Structure 1
C-alpha cells in the first residue's frame, strides 16, 4: 500500500528565507531530515514530548516553547484502582532561558535541552534531554503535590535502522507544522519518588517521542494515538493522527513493524464518545482496510484550562489497542492489548 505522499530522502530546510514554508519540505521521511529554521514570533510553537511506559506505570516529560511562554511538565501515572497520578508544570513567561533546537533534541548532531533549575522547588520543573552514545538520556525532577521529590533518569535506545515518521502538514504558506513521531523505542532506567524506586527496563518498557516545530493557527482540534510493544511475534509501534491534517494532503499515520515504517496516506476514521472518553474508541482506515483497531481506555488524563491566551481541553486516555493492521508488504498482524493512548484535544493558543 504505497502512499500518494512525497517521500523525502535528503536533508531540507523547513522554511524559505522570508519564513514561509519551503515547498520542497512538504512530504514525509523515515528519519528526521528537516531543519526547522523557523522565523517570526507569536504563532511559532516548538516542543519535545517523551512518554515512557511499562505494564504498570508511565512517565512523560515535556518541554515546549509557545513564543509568549514556555512550559515544562513531568507527568507520572501508576495504573489500576488507587494508582498514583502526579503532574507538575512550570510556566516561564516569555519563554526566557528555554531554547529548543531546529532538529530533534538530544539526537546525534543536534543540541541538548536543559530547562529549569537544577534543584527545583515547589512549582518548578527540571528537564534534561541529552545525546549519549547509546541513545537519548531523559532526566527530570520536580516535587509531587505531597512535596516528595520525584526524579526520573531514563535512557532511550536507538536501534540501528529503526525508522520513524516525520511529516510536514501544510495549512498554508504561513501556517504549517513539522512533526517527527518515534515509536517502539526500548527504554530503561528508574523513577524515584521519595525513597521508593520504580524500575523501567527489560522487554516491556517503551518510549515514544513527539517532536514538533511549526507555525500554528490560533485554534485547532486534533486526535493523536500511539502505542508500542510486542504482539503476534513482532515489535509494533502505532502512530495515528486525525482532524488537524484534514484537507492538507498530508497525514501523520504510520505503522512501525520490526523497525520498518509503513506510511499511511489515508485519513483515519476516528470514532469515540466525547461525553464518555473511557468508552471504547474505534480507529480504522475506511478504504484500504490497513488499520482496524479498537482502543479500550483504563484512565483519562483530563485537562481543562482557560487562561486568556491559552485555552485547552484535553482528554488523553491510556489503554490498550486490539484488532489488526497490515504492513506495506501485505503482512497481517494481530494486535493484542498493545499499550498506548488516544487523545481528543481542542487548543486555543
Structure 2
C-alpha cells in the first residue's frame, strides 16, 4: 500500500491508513454505469485550510456537495474581537475538483470573490491566493500565502468504510509552514514560516444521508519540528481506520476513540474537553468565537458551527510527551442531511 497510484485500482478500493496520498483520488472509480452516476450525487468533496497566527484566527474552504458548490473564508481579529466573513454559492461542478491534488489548481471565482489554491508537485511550495472585494457586511480580504511543502509534517491519509450502504470516507491532512501577507480591510497580517502554520483538510467522501461529526485540530512549533493533533468523533464501523492522529516532529501516529465533552452544553462559550481512549490526547479547548452555517434546502439541511480558540493539555507520541499551552486551533460540529 506504499505510495499507490490510485485510491481505486481495478474496481478495488484501498482501505486503511495509507503512507501517502494516492496520486489519483476519485471514490467513484469503484462504481460503473448507473451506480456510478447515483453515487456521484452523494459525493462530497472539499479542500480547506486552518491558518494559525498569534493575532488572527482564519479558515477558508472550497467545496462541492454535488447538489451545490460553495466557498467560504473568515478572519477573526483577536484584538478587536471582530469576525469578518465572505461566502459564495454556485451550481455543482462550477468549482473544479481534480482527483489529483499536486500539480493542480483549485479555484472559486464568482464576481468579486476569488480564492485559488495552487499545489506544487515537486515538494516546493503551495500557494493560496485570495482576492475578495469589500461588501456591505465585511471588509475586503486579499493577499497570498506560500506553504512550504518541503518542510511539511508527516501527512495523514485515511480510507475507510462508514455506516450506511456504500458510505465511504477518504481524507488527507498535512501541516505546512506558512509565509506571506493577508490584508483584511486596512489591516495587514504578516505570516512568518518560522512561526505560523496552515493545516490542510481534504475530503473525498460518500457520506451517509444523515451525517454527524465533532472534529478538532491544532498545531504548534516544537523542538525538531511540528506537533499537533487531528481528532474526530463520528459514527464508525468497528475495525475501520479512524482519521484521528497525533503529529510529532517525526511521525503521524494514530489515536483511538476520541471523546468530546462540552463543560456546559447550553453555554456556547464554555470550554470543551477532548481525550482519547489510549490516553495520548488530553486537551481542553477554550473558544474565543464561532462561525455558523444553517441551511434548509428541502431534503437537504445543514446545522454547522466552527469554534476558534486555544488548546491546552498534553499530546503523547511514541518518542515522548508535548505540553500544549495556548495553542491556536478549531473545533466544529456538523449535523446534516446530505
TM-score (norm 2): 0.87
- Structure 2 counterpart SS, 1:277: coil
Report the secondary structure of 1:98's partner residue.
Answer: coil
The answer on 1:128 being equivalent to 2:80 is no
Q: SS where residue 159 of structure 1 aligns?
A: helix
For the residues of structure 2 that align with 1:202 and 1:37, how far apart are their CA atoms?
32
Map residues 150-161 of structure 1 onto 2, 5 A cutoff.
150-160=141-151
Per the alignment, in what secondary structure is the counterpart of residue 85 of structure 2? strand
- Partner of residue 303, structure 2: 313
Instruction: Give the counterpart of 2:2 among 9, 19, 26.
Output: 9
Q: Does 1:256 align with 2:247?
A: yes
1:285 aligns with 2:288: no
Q: Unpaired segments of 5 or more residues in structure 2?
A: 29-36
Q: After superposition, give the CA deviation of every residue in 1:85-120 in whole Å (9 maximum; x if it has no partner).
A: 122111112x2432101133xx2xx42112214xx3
C-alpha displacement of 1:9: 1.7
Q: Mapping of 1:104-253 within 5 angstroms?
A: 104=101, 107=102, 110-117=103-110, 120-121=111-112, 125-132=113-120, 134-146=124-136, 148-160=139-151, 162-171=153-162, 174-183=166-175, 185-231=176-222, 235-245=226-236, 247=238, 249-253=240-244
CA distance in 2, matches of 1:140, 1:179: 24
C-alpha deviation, 1:337, in angstroms? 1.7
Find the aligned partners of 2:147 and 2:106 in 1 and give their Cα distance.
15
Per-residue CA deviation, residues 259-294 of structure 1 (Å, 9 max, x unaligned), is 421122x111221144223211111122x2211111
Shift in CA distance, 50/178, structure 1 to aligned 2, threshold 3 Å: same
Gaps of 5+ in 1: 1-7
Paired positions, count: 323
TM-superposed deviation, 1:304:
2.3
Q: Which residue of 2 aligns with 1:102?
A: 99
| Aligned residues of 1:86 and 1:145 also touching (Cα < 8 A) | no
Paired residue for 1:337, among 326, 332, 336? 326
Partner of 1:88: 86
1:180: how far off? Answer: 0.7
Deviations 1:52-103 (CA, angstroms, capped at 9, x unpaired): 12011133221111112210212211124x432122111112x243210113
TM-score by length of 1: 0.84
Equivalence for 2:67: 68
Give the conservation status (yes or no) of the 8 Å contact 2:153–2:174: no
Structure 1 Cα separation of the partners of residues 302 and 239 of structure 2:
23
How many angstroms does 1:310 deviate by?
3.4
* Contact 1:112–1:129 (CA under 8 A) maintained in structure 2: yes
Report what 1:59 is aligned to.
Answer: 58
Aligned partners of 1:88 and 1:302: how far apart in 2? 12
Contact 2:3 2:21 in 1 (8 A): no
* Aligned match of 1:268: 258
Tell me how far apart the structure 1 counterparts of residues 330 and 69 of structure 2 sit (CA, whole Å): 25
